[in-house]
Every structure is written in structure tokens, then in C-alpha cells.
Amino acid sequence: MEHRIVGPGPYRATKLWNETVELFRARMPLRKHRCRFKSYERCFTAAEAVDWLHELLRCSQNFGPEVTRKQTVQLLKKFLKNHVIEDIKGKWGQEDFEDNRHLYRFPPSSPLKPYPKKSAYQKDVIKFPEWNEPPPGTSQENIPVRPLVMNSEMWYKRHSIAIGEVPACRLVHRRQLTEDNVEEIWKSMTLSYLQKVLGLDSLEEVLDSKLVNSKFIIHNVYSVSKQGVVILDDKSKELPHWVLSAMKCLANWPNCSDLKQPMYLGFEKDVFKTIADYYGHLKEPLLTFHLFDAFVSVLGLLQKEKVAIEAFQVCCLLLPPENRRKLQLLMRMMARICLNKEMPPLCDGLGTRTLMVQTFSRCILCSKDEVDLDELLAARLVTFLMDNYQEILKVPLALQTSIEERVAHLRRVQFQKSYPEVYQERFPTPESEAVLFPEKPKPKPKPQLLMWALKNPFQPFQRTRSFRM
């Protein structure tokens, strides 16, 4: 019995938790153990549980081979806290789980996480500006008109309208395409694009669309440097100068321009600890709490790498600009450190790549619910980010092009309805172009030169008369 692949969709973290619990209860080997001159049936040691669960997680395509033994111990601590397992005396909740020979067993039933109740499905419809919609507070009955003197001509016009010969005129309100309209278009089309990439019927249970800020999307698309890094308008939300200098130092090691050459052994370890402490004390992970389910849902697409990258691109556009900038700078530093062969070991007994994943996983992706598999899912996401960060943190060109074309089309329609004569001159129709520029008659094709029509075609040249005088 193996882990099945849990694809994108709502409550993916809950599904993975429940499936891991069920597999652990069904497949974990149980046997008799002795402790303090007493025998216990159908139990296991803590070390045996770590060995077996670690192998299960590493072989699962939902988590991957990057799962460490330490992360497995953290998961078993959550199992003990939530009464998935208990010690041999029936204690659970407050006890701490350690990788040792302590005995544990399964309770009669392990609690599974309940799924939230699904609300009635309401499909979000993209609402675009209606040019003929009257502004609030106006109606056709309240239109001020001047009194007209009735004469024979006016009587005839009104009489013709009454009997249906002439259509009645109606006041048309032409609205401008406001900034709010453009922002709403960006938000609606971005969420629709994400829903299409994930292959879902609705995003209702994956993210709260009310928390999506359209200004963040537009800022992340256009306010960027030549390297694609977000530029912040509010400099108070920028990384502290000392953190930015430390990141540049490690990213460009050993060629560091901001700091002087290290004067003592282990300088690079202290600089790395400074960066880790700053990111570790953030109030909220970089990918935010309310987008946790969206990013976890994208993890179900990792078997389709191109689709997963595209989904991550869209999700990262929803981030606050300051979070996106911090993520871009952090991922660039992590990738450069891992590829730098001149970088000394930053941790004894732990590889550089593993150290990066373990150190920054929780500051990148984390959930408010402690019983979720957030450590394992965060490690999986950060590993994929490190391998593809240059593509993931780009703006999806197809989405940007489609939205810009839509906005340009609506503005063109607005201009056409507001100034039809000017529009016709600037953007002529095929019929008007045909009147102004009639097609020239096609020239008759010249007859081909046939070899058989020549007389003596291969006769050699013969000089018949001298040109000299």
C-alpha cells in the first residue's frame, strides 16, 4: 500500500494528513516488546516508527526524497499531540516524542481531520463595465428637459413616434473606463487564469478572492527592475540595510563589495545566522497565511513541471509587493550559495542545500493550523522553488498579454461609442478602405519563353563582319 498522488484542489493538506495517518496505522509493523520486566503486545519503539515513516514519506511522490529524519520526528510529535499514537501507558498530548527506544502503540481509533462543510457553489462571473448603464441615482424619468412650443412639425414627430413609424430616442450614458475598472479586470482575469491552470471548477475553497488585492497584481507586473525584482514605492517596507548587505555578501562570496574581508574563522556562518534570524522572526510567512491552500494545491501538479511553474507564477503575483521582493532576493541568495563551490560549509554534518531548505522553509510557507503537514509541504515547495526560481518569479507573459489586450479592446470600444466619426477616420472598416483605396487590376502574366520557339537555339556564335574600320 503506497501513497496515492493527491492532485490540486481544496483541502489538499487535510487529505494528505488523513491519508498518512491511515497508511501509518495500516502498515506500521507491530510486535511484542519488553520494558522493565514486563511484556507489551502490538507496539513499537519510537526509533522503529521514525525508520518506517521516514521511508514511507521519502518514497511518496507527494513529499519526495528530500524529507529528513528530523522532519519525520516533528511529524510524529504532531501524531502524539493529536492522539494518532500514544505511549504504552496511554499518555498522549503533553508528552514529547523523541527518537529513542520508548514504546508506543495505536489507540483504538486515530482521529482524522474533518473536512470543512462545502458552501453552495457560486461561480464568479467577470463583470466588465457597461457603457450604457446609467450612473447611480439617475433614471430616464428624471432627465431634465426644456418645455417645447408645439407646432405642426413637432406634432408630426410625436405622432409618428406614437404610432411606431419613428423609434423613440433614449438617453445613453457613456461611462469612462476608470482605474477601478482596470483593477477589477486584472483581478478577475488573473483568478480565472489560475483556476484554469489548476483545472478546478471553482477557487472558492482554495483561496478567499476578497483578500486578493488587484493593486498588488498590477504592481508586481509593472514596477520591476531590469532583473525582474519588484521595486517598492514605500521604502519603509524594504529589507533592512544590514540584512541586504549580509545577503549580498553570501551571494557573491568570496567577492564581497559591501563588507570588508572576514577577519576571523567562521565569519560566513555568523553572516548566515544573521539572515536566518531575520527571516525566522517574520510575523507571517512570505507566501502569507491566506494563500497557503493555494500554494499547497499547486504542489499536486509537480509531476507536470511546466504546468506547476505556470501555476506558481500566477500565485506569486497575488503576493504583497514587499513579500514578493523578499522572496526574490532570498531565493536568489539560496541558489547562488548552493552553486558556489568556494563557499565553506555553513553547518557541520549537513549539506548546504539541505541546510537552506530546513532553515528557510517555515518562513516561506506555513499554516496557522499546527496539525497540518506544513513542514513537509514547505520543504517540498522550497526545493522546487530553488530549482526553478528564475522561471517561477517571472510574470506569465500569456496572462499579461491577454489582460492588456482586453483593456485595450474596452478602451477602443469606449472611444468608438463616444466619438464614432473620429473612430471611423482613425480605424476605417474594410468597406471604407475599399472605397478609398480601390484594388488595382492584377497585371497579366507574361508568357513563358519556350525553348522550342527559338530558331536554332543552340547554334554557336559566328562573327559575320568585322567591326574594325
Residue 228 confidence (pLDDT) above 70: yes
Lowest-confidence range among 152-156, 208-212, 374-378, 463-467? 463-467
- Extract the C-alpha cell encoding 429: 472598416
| DSSP type of residue 224 | B
Among 133-147, 180-194, 232-246, 443-457, the range scoring the smallest mean pLDDT is 133-147
Secondary structure of residue 230 in the 3-state scheme: strand
- The residue written with cell numbers 474533518 in the block is 114
Average pLDDT over residues 180-192: 94
Q: What percent of the chain has pLDDT over 90?
A: 51
CATH numbers and ranges of domains, the chain: 15-105 (1.10.10.10), 180-401 (1.10.555.10)
Is residue 423 within 8 Å of residue 415, measured between CB atoms?
yes
Lookup: cell for 306? 511546466
Select the more confidently predicted residue: 149 or 274: 274
Give the burial class of 6: count Cβ atoms within 10 A of its Cβ; 0-12 exposed, 13-18 middle, 19 or more buried: buried
pLDDT at residue number 124:
47
* Cα gap 262→243, rounded to integer Å: 17
Instruction: For residues 380 and 382, give the distance between their C-alpha atoms in angstroms, rounded to a whole number.
Output: 6
pLDDT, greater one: 35 or 160: 35
* Exposure letters 261-290 (e unless 16+ CB within 10 A, then b): eeeeeeebeebbebbbebbeeeeebbbbee
Mean pLDDT of 244-259: 83
- 44 neighbors 31 (Cβ within 8 angstroms): yes
What is the C-alpha separation between 395 and 376, in angstroms, rounded?
27
Which range is most confident: 55-69, 197-211, 323-337? 323-337
CA distance 293 to 66: 21
Given this model, what pLDDT does residue 172 score? Answer: 47
The pLDDT confidence band at residue 314, using thresholds 50, 70 and 90, is very high
Joined together, the cell numbers standing for residue 50 give 521514525
Mean pLDDT of the chain: 82
Nearest to 113 by CA among 231, 240, 19: 19
